[in-house]
Amino acid sequence: MSIASQVEIIKSRIAGAAREAGRNPEDITLIGVTKTVSADRAREVMAAGVMDLGENRVQAFLDKYETLGNAPRWHLIGHLQTNKVKYIVGKVALIHSVDTLHVAEEISKKAVAEGITQQILMQFNISGEVSKSGATADEAKHLLESVSALHGLSVQGLMTMAPLGATETETRRLFADLRTLAESIDNEGFPNVSMTQLSMGMSGDFESAIREGATLVRIGSALFSHLES
Ligand SMILES: *Cc1c(COP(=O)(O)O)cnc(C)c1O
């Protein structure tokens, strides 16, 4: 099966989940996660109309960026180390995985030096019944308050990943919790913080995520796993 037909299948599943939830399918952006495929495959997915691409590692992103430049909108979705921040600020449209004040400060420093505003999401693993290790809502708000004081960045929303092995019910609950957290952060009215994007949902759970309000779904294997590589 071609990438183009795989894209069509995913898009119709996105549209189906959106309609079931009474949402407009156009409010959901499909991010093609190209971490397991070559730049040529990434070009094919772009030719099929997916203009948002995600990479989870800085070096792999830089390799593809060298070939594809700014033709796609780039999303950095994987864990980001402070010492790698300088390589990606201004090159990626959105950094999804900011999870500490330290990383946010580093992005701020680099963005100010370049005279740009970097758009970011804050990543939370919410603590609750499913994951005991994540942040509480109060911790999340404190972090957002500190980040909101930094120059050169703009927080567009939140990102989460369901833990491996979570059931569908648990996963859906986590996604609902992230949406609730975003609403309560929005009510704080922090400067430079708007909760317009919820990045949640991957190949195995994007329909649940859309039912719970996802605006960005990050999909890799469902697009590419049928290929030889
Ligand atoms: C790999 C990855 C994805 C895509 O996962 P699939 O299950 O292949 O769709 C999404 N988000 C992050 C952070 C990833 O690292």
| Angstrom distance (rounded) from CA 19 to CA 177 | 21
Q: Which of 14, 33, 55, 76 to mutate to test the pocket of ligand 1 (most atoms within 8 A of CB)?
A: 33
- Say if ligand 1 is within 6 A of residue 221 CB: yes
- Say if ligand 1 is within 6 A of residue 56 CB: yes
**How far, in Å, is the centroid of ligand 1 from the Cα of 203?**
7
> Would you say 177 and 195 are in contact if contact means Cβ atoms under 8 Å apart?
no
pLDDT grade for 229, boundaries at 50, 70 and 90 = very low
Per-residue pLDDT, 193: 98
pLDDT in tens, 150-205: 999 999 999 999 988 889 999 999 999 999 999 999 999 999 999 999 999 999 99
Query: Above 90 in pLDDT, residue 131?
Result: no
Per-residue pLDDT, 228: 54
* C-alpha closest to that of 196 among 148, 152, 158, 160: 158
pLDDT grade for 226, boundaries at 50, 70 and 90 = confident
**How far, in Å, is the centroid of ligand 1 from the Cα of 33?**
6
pTM for this predicted structure: 0.96
pLDDT in tens, 41-68: 999 999 999 999 999 999 999 999 999 9
Maximum pairwise Cα distance, the chain: 49
Residue 19 is encoded by which pair of tokens?
């309609």
* Atom number in ligand 1 closest to CA 97: 13
* Atom number in ligand 1 closest to CA 218: 10
Query: Above 70 in pLDDT, residue 133?
Result: no
- Say if ligand 1 is within 6 A of residue 161 CB: yes
> Would you say 80 and 125 are in contact if contact means Cβ atoms under 8 Å apart?
no
- Say if ligand 1 is within 6 A of residue 162 CB: no
The arithmetic mean of pLDDT across residues 19-40, rounded, is 97
| Angstrom distance (rounded) from CA 50 to CA 217 | 12
